[in-house]
Amino acid sequence: MDSAIEDGLADKLPVSLVSSRVTMEDITALGERLEIQTARLKEYLFSGTAKKAPEFNATKLAELCGRSRDQMLRLLDRGLEPGLSDGIKGKADGGSERNRRFTLSEARAWVKATRKPGRPPGLPGATITVANFKGGVSKTVTAMSTAQALSLKGYDVLCIDYDPQGSMSALFGLTPGFIPESETVLPLMMHATSEIARDTLQESIQATYWDGIDLVPASHAIAQGEFYLPLRQLEANNRGEEFKFWDVLNKALDAGIREQYDYIIIDTPPALSYMNMTTIWAADALLLPLPPEGIDFVSSAQFWTMLSELSTGLALGQKDFAWVAAVPSKVNHQRMYTKEILKWMQGSYGDMLTQTEIPDTAAVGMEGAKYSTVYDVERYAGSAKTLSRARDAYDKLVDEIDFMTRRKVWQIPATEQE
C-alpha cells in the first residue's frame, strides 16, 4: 500500500488497531461488553417486563377447540367439567359475560377437554429436530412457532435449545448470557472429569412463560461440547471402551423424558457438527426450513449429502426417521424466480415438501426483532390481515406436522385422525 495512504489511514483508525494486536483478553472484554449491551437492549425491548403469554376471548377459544362460537358459548354455560373456567372475570366488579377472557392455561385446559386425545397412552412423545446448516433460514422461528401451535392443540411440549447463540432461549424471554452452563445441554457432552458432567437432562428443564412448554435453554458455553465429544470418543476408542458420541442426547431423552412430553422440539445451530449429529440421532423426524432462493436451495442438497456421508464415514450405524420434511420458509412471491424455485423444490423433494408455505411476512420479521412470534401477539401494530395470514400458515404447517406424527410416529390409522 502507498505509504501516504497508510499514514492517512493510521490517523483515522483507532490506536488499538494500529499499535497493538488483538489478544484473547481483548476478545473476552469485547464479549463481556456485548453481553451487557444485549441485556440493555432486551430491557429496552421489553421495557423491563418479563414475557407474557397471550389471553384468549370466546371466539378464539372456540377456534382452538374446533367449535363454532355458539357451540362454545353453550359449552361454557353448561360447564363441561368442574374446574374449567367460564372466562367471566371480575363478576363482582361488573365484569361482563360478553367479555369473557381466558388465560393460556385456562384455554389449554378447555382444548384438552374437548379435543380428541393426541398421543396414545404408553407411547413416547415425538422428537422433531429443526435443522439446516444454512443460517437465517427461519429454523428458530419455525421451531418456536411449531412448539406454541402444538401446545395450543393441547399437547405438552419440551423445547431444547442446542444453539450457542441461544436465539430460542431469547424468544422465551431469557438472556442467554445469564444461563448457568449446568442448566443447558452441555453436561451431556462434558468429559467425566468435569464437575457438571452427567448423562441426564432432567435437571436442565425449566418451566417457561408459556403454559405447556418447558425449555432446556442454551448459552454460548454449550459450544464447548464440540471439543469434548470427539475427545471423549478418541479416549474411549483408545481404552477400548464402548462410547457413542452421537447417542448422548438420544440416551438422555430415553431416560424418562420422552414419556413426559407429547412433543420434543430441538432448535439447532447452522452447522453439521458433532453436537448437531446428537440431535439428528435423537430425532423421530427432521424438519428443514428452506427459503425458495437459489443459494439456499443448493445448500440444502449439500446438507443431505453431508449428513449421509458423515453417518457412513463415521460408521455411526443405522438410523431412520418416521418422517422428513422440507418447509418452504420466508416465501416471497414478489421476488423473481420464487415460483420456479418452488417448482424445483417440489420436483426434488416430492412428498417430502410440506403443502404449506410460510410467507415472508412483516408479522414475523417485525415481531422477530422484538423477540416474539405470531402466537405471542394479541394486538398487532400492523394490519390484522397480515397477522392472521401468517398465523394461518403456521397453524396449517403444524396440522401437517401433527398429521404425519400421528400417522407415522404413533401409527394412528387415518380413519381415527381428526
Ligand X SMILES: Nc1ncnc2c1ncn2[C@@H]1O[C@H](COP(=O)(O)OP(=O)(O)OP(=O)(O)O)[C@@H](O)[C@H]1O
Based on CB atoms, which residue is closest to Mg ion, 167 or 278? 167
Q: Which stretch binds ligand X (CB under 6 A): 133-141, 199-207, 231-239, 349-357?
A: 133-141
How far is residue 380's CA from residue 116's CA, in Å, rounded to a whole number?
Answer: 31
CB 78 to ligand X: min, Å: 40
User: Residue type for 237, please?
Assistant: N
How far is residue 195's CA from residue 203's CA, in Å, rounded to a whole number?
Answer: 14
How far is residue 160's CA from residue 17's CA, in Å, rounded to a whole number?
Answer: 40
Work out what residue 177 binds among ligand X, Mg ion, none; the CB cut-off runs from 5 to 8 Å by kind.
none
Q: Does 129 bind Mg ion (CB under 5 A)?
A: no
Based on CB atoms, which residue is closest to ligand X, 58 or 398? 398
- Contact partners, residue 291, CB within 8 Å, separation at least 6: 137, 138, 328, 329, 330, 331, 360
Q: Which stretch binds ligand X (CB under 6 A): 63-71, 132-140, 228-236, 307-315?
A: 132-140
Contact positions with ligand X (CB under 6 A) in 282-321: none
Q: Does 268 bind Mg ion (CB under 5 A)?
A: no
CA 397 distance to own-chain centroid: 14
Neighbours of 292 (CB within 10 A): 24
Work out what residue 219 binds among Mg ion, ligand X, none; the CB cut-off runs from 5 to 8 Å by kind.
none
Work out what residue 154 binds among ligand X, Mg ion, none; the CB cut-off runs from 5 to 8 Å by kind.
none
Pick from 60, 119, 139, 258 the residue near Mg ion by CB under 5 A: 139
Cα dist. 401→146, 261, 365 in Å? 9, 16, 23
Q: Does 140 bind Mg ion (CB under 5 A)?
A: yes
Q: Does 138 bind ligand X (CB under 6 A)?
A: yes
- Give the DSSP letter of residue 48: T
User: Residue type for 299, please?
Assistant: S
User: Residue type for 255, please?
Assistant: A
Pick from 248, 264, 364, 397 the residue near ligand X by CB under 6 A: 364
Reading the block at residue 121, the C-alpha cell is: 397412552
Reading the block at residue 392, the C-alpha cell is: 394461518
Contact positions with Mg ion (CB under 5 A) in 164-203: 167
CB 360 to ligand X: min, Å: 4
Q: Does 135 bind ligand X (CB under 6 A)?
A: yes
Contact positions with Mg ion (CB under 5 A) in 141-170: 167
- Give the DSSP letter of residue 266: E
Contact positions with ligand X (CB under 6 A) in 217-276: 269-270
Number of H helices, E strands in the chain: 17, 9
Whether residue 301 contacts residue 329, with contact meaning beta carbons closer than 8 Å, is answered with: no
How far is residue 373's CA from residue 42's CA, in Å, rounded to a whole number?
Answer: 16
Based on CB atoms, which residue is closest to ligand X, 163 or 376? 163
CB 56 to ligand X: min, Å: 23
Q: Does 136 bind ligand X (CB under 6 A)?
A: yes
Q: Does 141 bind ligand X (CB under 6 A)?
A: yes
Whether residue 329 contacts residue 138, with contact meaning beta carbons closer than 8 Å, is answered with: yes
Based on CB atoms, which residue is closest to ligand X, 101 or 391? 391
Beta bridge partners of 56: 102
Helix (H, G, I), strand (E, B) or coil at 323: strand
How far is residue 38's CA from residue 238's CA, in Å, rounded to a whole number?
Answer: 43
Pick from 128, 341, 358, 377 the residue near ligand X by CB under 6 A: 358
Work out what residue 137 binds among Mg ion, ligand X, none; the CB cut-off runs from 5 to 8 Å by kind.
ligand X
Q: Which stretch binds ligand X (CB under 6 A): 1-9, 203-211, 312-320, 353-361?
A: 353-361
Whether residue 172 contacts residue 217, with contact meaning beta carbons closer than 8 Å, is answered with: yes
Q: Does 330 bind ligand X (CB under 6 A)?
A: yes
CB 223 to Mg ion: min, Å: 14
Residues that bind ligand X (CB under 6 A): 135-141, 163, 167, 269-270, 329-330, 358, 360-361, 364-365, 368
